[in-house]
Copies of this chain bind each other. A is one copy, B any other.
Amino acid sequence: MPTTLKEIAEKINVSVSTVSKALKGYADVNPETKKLILKTAKEMNYKPNSFAVNLRTKESKTIGLIVPEIVHHFFSSVIKGIIAQAEKKGYLVIILQSNESYELEKKQLELLQNKRVDGILVSIANGTSKFDHFKEVIDNDTPLVMFDKIAKIIDCSKVIIDDRKAAYEATKYLIEIGCKKIAHFRGPLLPQNSIDRFLGYKKALEDFNIPYDSKLVYVLNDVSFEEGKYYAKKLVEEHKNVDGIFVNTDLVAIGAITAFNEMNIKVPEDISIVGFSNWFMSTVVSPSLTTINQPGFKMGKEAFKVLYKEIKAKKKNEEFRYKKVVLDTDLIVRNSTKPILKS
Protein backbone atom coordinates (compact mmCIF):
# COMPACT_ATOMS: atom_id res chain seq x y z
CA MET A 1 0.00 0.00 0.00
CA PRO A 2 2.58 2.66 0.94
CA THR A 3 4.71 4.14 -1.82
CA THR A 4 8.12 2.61 -2.45
CA LEU A 5 11.23 3.94 -4.13
CA LYS A 6 10.52 1.62 -7.02
CA GLU A 7 7.13 3.15 -7.66
CA ILE A 8 8.58 6.62 -7.71
CA ALA A 9 11.35 5.44 -10.03
CA GLU A 10 8.92 3.87 -12.48
CA LYS A 11 6.69 6.88 -12.52
CA ILE A 12 9.41 9.22 -13.72
CA ASN A 13 11.60 6.73 -15.54
CA VAL A 14 14.73 6.78 -13.49
CA SER A 15 16.35 4.03 -11.48
CA VAL A 16 15.68 3.18 -7.87
CA SER A 17 19.23 4.18 -7.03
CA THR A 18 18.86 7.71 -8.26
CA VAL A 19 15.62 8.15 -6.41
CA SER A 20 17.25 6.97 -3.23
CA LYS A 21 20.24 9.18 -3.79
CA ALA A 22 18.14 12.23 -4.55
CA LEU A 23 16.12 11.70 -1.41
CA LYS A 24 19.22 11.30 0.68
CA GLY A 25 20.98 14.29 -0.76
CA TYR A 26 23.80 12.59 -2.64
CA ALA A 27 25.84 14.87 -4.87
CA ASP A 28 25.80 12.83 -8.04
CA VAL A 29 22.31 13.62 -9.16
CA ASN A 30 21.28 16.35 -11.52
CA PRO A 31 19.55 19.26 -9.77
CA GLU A 32 16.71 19.06 -12.27
CA THR A 33 15.98 15.38 -11.74
CA LYS A 34 16.45 15.81 -8.03
CA LYS A 35 13.78 18.45 -7.97
CA LEU A 36 11.45 16.20 -9.92
CA ILE A 37 12.08 13.28 -7.63
CA LEU A 38 11.45 15.33 -4.51
CA LYS A 39 8.27 16.62 -6.03
CA THR A 40 6.83 13.26 -7.00
CA ALA A 41 7.93 11.74 -3.71
CA LYS A 42 5.89 14.32 -1.94
CA GLU A 43 2.97 13.89 -4.28
CA MET A 44 2.96 10.16 -3.74
CA ASN A 45 3.34 10.69 -0.02
CA TYR A 46 6.49 8.64 0.15
CA LYS A 47 7.65 7.51 3.57
CA PRO A 48 10.73 5.34 3.80
CA ASN A 49 9.99 1.83 4.97
CA SER A 50 11.68 1.75 8.32
CA PHE A 51 11.88 -2.03 8.30
CA ALA A 52 14.02 -1.95 5.20
CA VAL A 53 16.07 0.93 6.49
CA ASN A 54 16.70 -0.89 9.74
CA LEU A 55 17.82 -3.99 7.94
CA ARG A 56 20.10 -2.09 5.64
CA THR A 57 21.61 0.26 8.18
CA LYS A 58 21.55 -2.20 11.07
CA GLU A 59 20.09 0.32 13.41
CA SER A 60 16.57 0.98 14.56
CA LYS A 61 16.78 4.43 16.10
CA THR A 62 15.10 2.89 19.08
CA ILE A 63 16.40 2.36 22.58
CA GLY A 64 15.14 0.17 25.38
CA LEU A 65 14.45 1.25 28.91
CA ILE A 66 13.95 -0.95 31.95
CA VAL A 67 12.70 0.52 35.19
CA PRO A 68 11.73 -1.32 38.35
CA GLU A 69 8.34 0.38 38.51
CA ILE A 70 6.40 2.80 36.35
CA VAL A 71 3.80 4.07 38.78
CA HIS A 72 6.38 5.92 40.80
CA HIS A 73 6.97 9.62 40.94
CA PHE A 74 10.71 9.48 40.57
CA PHE A 75 10.86 6.91 37.82
CA SER A 76 8.08 8.45 35.82
CA SER A 77 10.01 11.72 35.95
CA VAL A 78 13.10 9.95 34.67
CA ILE A 79 11.09 8.33 31.89
CA LYS A 80 9.75 11.69 30.88
CA GLY A 81 13.27 13.09 30.69
CA ILE A 82 14.54 10.18 28.64
CA ILE A 83 11.72 10.35 26.15
CA ALA A 84 12.06 14.09 25.79
CA GLN A 85 15.77 13.92 25.10
CA ALA A 86 15.50 10.88 22.86
CA GLU A 87 12.88 12.54 20.72
CA LYS A 88 15.20 15.47 20.12
CA LYS A 89 17.68 13.08 18.56
CA GLY A 90 15.10 11.14 16.59
CA TYR A 91 15.05 8.13 18.88
CA LEU A 92 12.05 6.28 20.20
CA VAL A 93 11.90 4.54 23.54
CA ILE A 94 10.57 1.09 24.36
CA ILE A 95 9.74 0.82 28.04
CA LEU A 96 9.70 -2.31 30.15
CA GLN A 97 9.27 -2.77 33.90
CA SER A 98 11.07 -5.32 36.00
CA ASN A 99 8.79 -5.06 39.03
CA GLU A 100 11.96 -5.26 41.11
CA SER A 101 12.44 -8.85 39.96
CA TYR A 102 15.72 -10.30 38.78
CA GLU A 103 14.10 -12.88 36.52
CA LEU A 104 11.94 -10.31 34.78
CA GLU A 105 14.84 -7.95 34.40
CA LYS A 106 16.93 -10.64 32.77
CA LYS A 107 14.14 -11.70 30.47
CA GLN A 108 13.46 -8.16 29.39
CA LEU A 109 17.08 -7.47 28.72
CA GLU A 110 17.01 -10.41 26.31
CA LEU A 111 13.80 -9.18 24.75
CA LEU A 112 15.37 -5.83 24.01
CA GLN A 113 18.51 -7.38 22.58
CA ASN A 114 16.47 -9.65 20.34
CA LYS A 115 14.62 -6.58 19.13
CA ARG A 116 18.04 -5.16 18.37
CA VAL A 117 17.54 -1.81 20.02
CA ASP A 118 20.43 0.57 19.50
CA GLY A 119 21.07 0.90 23.22
CA ILE A 120 19.67 0.13 26.63
CA LEU A 121 18.99 2.25 29.69
CA VAL A 122 18.41 0.46 32.95
CA SER A 123 17.79 1.04 36.60
CA ILE A 124 18.43 -2.20 38.44
CA ALA A 125 15.76 -4.15 40.31
CA ASN A 126 16.00 -4.59 44.05
CA GLY A 127 15.91 -8.34 43.54
CA THR A 128 19.04 -8.38 41.42
CA SER A 129 22.23 -9.70 43.00
CA LYS A 130 23.85 -11.33 39.98
CA PHE A 131 24.96 -9.14 37.13
CA ASP A 132 25.99 -11.48 34.34
CA HIS A 133 23.00 -10.49 32.25
CA PHE A 134 24.41 -6.99 32.05
CA LYS A 135 27.84 -8.27 31.16
CA GLU A 136 26.29 -10.16 28.28
CA VAL A 137 24.75 -7.00 26.93
CA ILE A 138 28.08 -5.27 27.01
CA ASP A 139 29.83 -8.24 25.42
CA ASN A 140 27.22 -8.15 22.69
CA ASP A 141 28.37 -4.63 21.97
CA THR A 142 25.03 -3.09 22.82
CA PRO A 143 25.59 0.28 24.50
CA LEU A 144 24.30 0.15 28.06
CA VAL A 145 23.89 2.94 30.58
CA MET A 146 22.77 2.47 34.17
CA PHE A 147 21.01 5.17 36.12
CA ASP A 148 19.96 5.66 39.73
CA LYS A 149 20.16 2.03 40.79
CA ILE A 150 23.43 0.80 39.41
CA ALA A 151 25.83 -2.09 39.83
CA LYS A 152 29.22 -0.98 41.04
CA ILE A 153 30.74 -4.17 39.75
CA ILE A 154 29.73 -3.63 36.12
CA ASP A 155 31.98 -1.50 33.98
CA CYS A 156 29.70 0.80 32.01
CA SER A 157 28.47 4.38 31.96
CA LYS A 158 26.37 5.52 34.88
CA VAL A 159 24.20 8.46 35.80
CA ILE A 160 23.54 8.82 39.48
CA ILE A 161 23.31 11.12 42.41
CA ASP A 162 25.74 10.98 45.31
CA ASP A 163 23.43 9.02 47.57
CA ARG A 164 25.95 8.85 50.32
CA LYS A 165 26.54 12.55 50.39
CA ALA A 166 22.85 13.33 50.18
CA ALA A 167 22.09 10.97 53.06
CA TYR A 168 24.91 12.55 55.01
CA GLU A 169 23.39 15.98 54.50
CA ALA A 170 19.97 14.78 55.54
CA THR A 171 21.26 13.19 58.72
CA LYS A 172 23.51 16.11 59.45
CA TYR A 173 20.51 18.39 59.23
CA LEU A 174 18.65 16.29 61.79
CA ILE A 175 21.65 16.59 64.08
CA GLU A 176 21.86 20.33 63.52
CA ILE A 177 18.28 20.88 64.60
CA GLY A 178 19.10 19.09 67.82
CA CYS A 179 18.12 15.46 67.32
CA LYS A 180 20.06 13.14 69.59
CA LYS A 181 18.67 9.72 68.79
CA ILE A 182 18.18 9.25 65.10
CA ALA A 183 16.72 6.18 63.46
CA HIS A 184 17.03 5.14 59.84
CA PHE A 185 14.52 3.29 57.70
CA ARG A 186 16.82 1.90 55.07
CA GLY A 187 16.05 0.33 51.72
CA PRO A 188 16.53 -3.35 50.94
CA LEU A 189 19.98 -4.84 51.41
CA LEU A 190 20.99 -5.22 47.79
CA PRO A 191 20.59 -2.02 45.82
CA GLN A 192 23.62 0.17 45.85
CA ASN A 193 21.75 3.34 46.59
CA SER A 194 20.17 2.04 49.75
CA ILE A 195 23.59 0.89 50.90
CA ASP A 196 25.04 4.30 50.16
CA ARG A 197 22.25 6.13 51.92
CA PHE A 198 22.80 3.97 54.94
CA LEU A 199 26.51 4.67 54.87
CA GLY A 200 25.89 8.40 54.61
CA TYR A 201 23.62 8.21 57.63
CA LYS A 202 26.22 6.29 59.60
CA LYS A 203 29.06 8.61 58.65
CA ALA A 204 27.12 11.67 59.77
CA LEU A 205 26.49 10.09 63.16
CA GLU A 206 30.17 9.31 63.51
CA ASP A 207 31.31 12.76 62.48
CA PHE A 208 29.08 14.35 65.08
CA ASN A 209 29.86 11.89 67.82
CA ILE A 210 26.51 10.24 68.02
CA PRO A 211 26.87 6.54 68.78
CA TYR A 212 25.65 4.31 66.00
CA ASP A 213 23.04 1.81 67.12
CA SER A 214 22.17 -0.91 64.62
CA LYS A 215 18.87 -1.48 66.41
CA LEU A 216 17.76 1.93 65.20
CA VAL A 217 18.11 0.85 61.60
CA TYR A 218 15.09 -0.84 60.07
CA VAL A 219 15.37 -2.61 56.75
CA LEU A 220 12.48 -2.06 54.37
CA ASN A 221 11.38 -4.74 52.01
CA ASP A 222 8.88 -3.42 49.51
CA VAL A 223 9.49 0.26 50.30
CA SER A 224 5.83 1.12 50.55
CA PHE A 225 3.52 3.45 52.39
CA GLU A 226 2.30 0.57 54.54
CA GLU A 227 5.82 -0.34 55.53
CA GLY A 228 6.36 3.23 56.64
CA LYS A 229 3.37 2.96 58.94
CA TYR A 230 4.43 -0.43 60.18
CA TYR A 231 7.95 0.49 61.11
CA ALA A 232 6.91 3.80 62.64
CA LYS A 233 4.74 1.86 65.07
CA LYS A 234 7.43 -0.69 65.65
CA LEU A 235 9.95 2.05 66.31
CA VAL A 236 7.94 3.63 69.10
CA GLU A 237 7.26 0.23 70.60
CA GLU A 238 10.89 -0.72 70.66
CA HIS A 239 12.57 2.56 71.53
CA LYS A 240 12.12 5.58 73.74
CA ASN A 241 13.18 9.10 72.96
CA VAL A 242 13.86 8.69 69.30
CA ASP A 243 13.63 12.25 68.03
CA GLY A 244 14.59 11.93 64.39
CA ILE A 245 14.30 9.53 61.46
CA PHE A 246 16.02 9.58 58.15
CA VAL A 247 13.90 7.57 55.72
CA ASN A 248 15.10 6.00 52.50
CA THR A 249 12.13 7.19 50.42
CA ASP A 250 9.40 9.79 50.65
CA LEU A 251 6.62 7.30 50.25
CA VAL A 252 7.77 5.43 53.33
CA ALA A 253 8.34 8.65 55.23
CA ILE A 254 4.79 9.67 54.48
CA GLY A 255 3.58 6.34 55.79
CA ALA A 256 5.51 7.04 58.97
CA ILE A 257 4.05 10.52 59.31
CA THR A 258 0.58 9.07 58.89
CA ALA A 259 1.24 6.53 61.63
CA PHE A 260 2.59 9.16 63.99
CA ASN A 261 -0.44 11.33 63.33
CA GLU A 262 -2.66 8.40 64.21
CA MET A 263 -0.68 7.70 67.39
CA ASN A 264 -0.84 11.34 68.38
CA ILE A 265 2.91 11.66 68.25
CA LYS A 266 3.69 15.15 67.08
CA VAL A 267 5.79 15.69 64.00
CA PRO A 268 8.13 17.53 64.23
CA GLU A 269 7.80 18.46 67.92
CA ASP A 270 8.28 14.91 69.18
CA ILE A 271 10.05 13.48 66.21
CA SER A 272 11.56 15.00 63.07
CA ILE A 273 11.48 13.18 59.76
CA VAL A 274 13.52 13.58 56.61
CA GLY A 275 12.58 11.70 53.46
CA PHE A 276 14.34 11.16 50.19
CA SER A 277 13.42 11.93 46.58
CA ASN A 278 11.04 14.88 46.85
CA TRP A 279 7.91 13.29 45.51
CA PHE A 280 5.21 15.78 44.77
CA MET A 281 3.12 14.14 47.46
CA SER A 282 5.53 15.42 50.06
CA THR A 283 4.28 18.94 49.62
CA VAL A 284 0.68 18.03 50.37
CA VAL A 285 1.09 15.69 53.29
CA SER A 286 0.63 17.23 56.69
CA PRO A 287 3.07 18.20 57.98
CA SER A 288 4.82 18.62 54.67
CA LEU A 289 7.95 16.55 54.38
CA THR A 290 11.53 17.72 54.60
CA THR A 291 13.40 15.74 51.98
CA ILE A 292 16.25 15.42 49.54
CA ASN A 293 15.44 16.58 46.05
CA GLN A 294 16.44 14.04 43.45
CA PRO A 295 16.36 15.45 39.92
CA GLY A 296 14.51 12.73 38.01
CA PHE A 297 13.78 14.58 34.81
CA LYS A 298 17.37 15.76 34.53
CA MET A 299 18.68 12.30 35.29
CA GLY A 300 16.60 10.97 32.42
CA LYS A 301 17.95 13.55 30.02
CA GLU A 302 21.53 12.97 31.08
CA ALA A 303 21.19 9.22 30.87
CA PHE A 304 20.01 9.45 27.30
CA LYS A 305 22.75 11.90 26.40
CA VAL A 306 25.42 9.53 27.65
CA LEU A 307 23.83 6.60 25.86
CA TYR A 308 23.55 8.60 22.67
CA LYS A 309 27.24 9.40 22.68
CA GLU A 310 28.07 5.74 23.10
CA ILE A 311 25.78 4.76 20.27
CA LYS A 312 27.36 7.32 17.96
CA ALA A 313 30.88 6.37 18.99
CA LYS A 314 30.28 2.69 18.44
CA LYS A 315 28.73 3.33 15.07
CA LYS A 316 31.80 5.23 13.93
CA ASN A 317 34.07 2.72 15.62
CA GLU A 318 35.56 5.49 17.69
CA GLU A 319 37.15 4.94 21.05
CA PHE A 320 35.24 6.18 24.03
CA ARG A 321 35.42 5.98 27.78
CA TYR A 322 32.60 5.10 30.09
CA LYS A 323 31.21 8.18 31.76
CA LYS A 324 30.04 8.63 35.29
CA VAL A 325 27.68 11.56 35.72
CA VAL A 326 26.84 12.60 39.25
CA LEU A 327 23.89 14.93 39.60
CA ASP A 328 23.40 17.43 42.39
CA THR A 329 20.81 16.97 45.07
CA ASP A 330 19.64 19.40 47.67
CA LEU A 331 17.90 19.39 50.96
CA ILE A 332 14.40 20.81 50.91
CA VAL A 333 13.34 21.92 54.34
CA ARG A 334 9.63 21.73 55.08
CA ASN A 335 7.60 21.14 58.19
CA SER A 336 8.40 17.61 59.24
CA THR A 337 11.58 18.83 60.92
CA LYS A 338 12.00 21.21 63.83
CA PRO A 339 13.33 24.71 63.19
CA ILE A 340 17.09 24.94 63.24
CA LEU A 341 18.79 25.54 66.60
CA LYS A 342 20.29 28.90 67.33
CA SER A 343 23.83 28.55 68.51
Residues of A within 8 A of B (CB): 1, 47-52, 54-55, 58, 60, 62, 70-73, 76-77, 79-80, 83-84, 87, 92-97, 111, 113-116, 140-141, 225, 254, 258, 261, 280-281, 283-286
Contact = CB atoms under 8 A, between A and B. Distances in A.
A11 to B, nearest CB: 21
A111 B92 contact: yes
A148 B164 CA distance: 42
Nearest to A58: B51
Nearest to A71: B76
Contact of A70 (B51, B79, B261, B280): B79
Contacts of A79: 70, 95
A95 B93 CA distance: 6
Contacts of A1: 140-141
A261 B283 CA distance: 14
Contacts of A73: 71
A80 B97 CA distance: 8
Contacts of A62: 94, 115
Nearest to A48: B114
A215 to B, nearest CB: 28
Nearest to A257: B284
A222 to B, nearest CB: 14
A50 B141 contact: no
A286 to B, nearest CB: 4
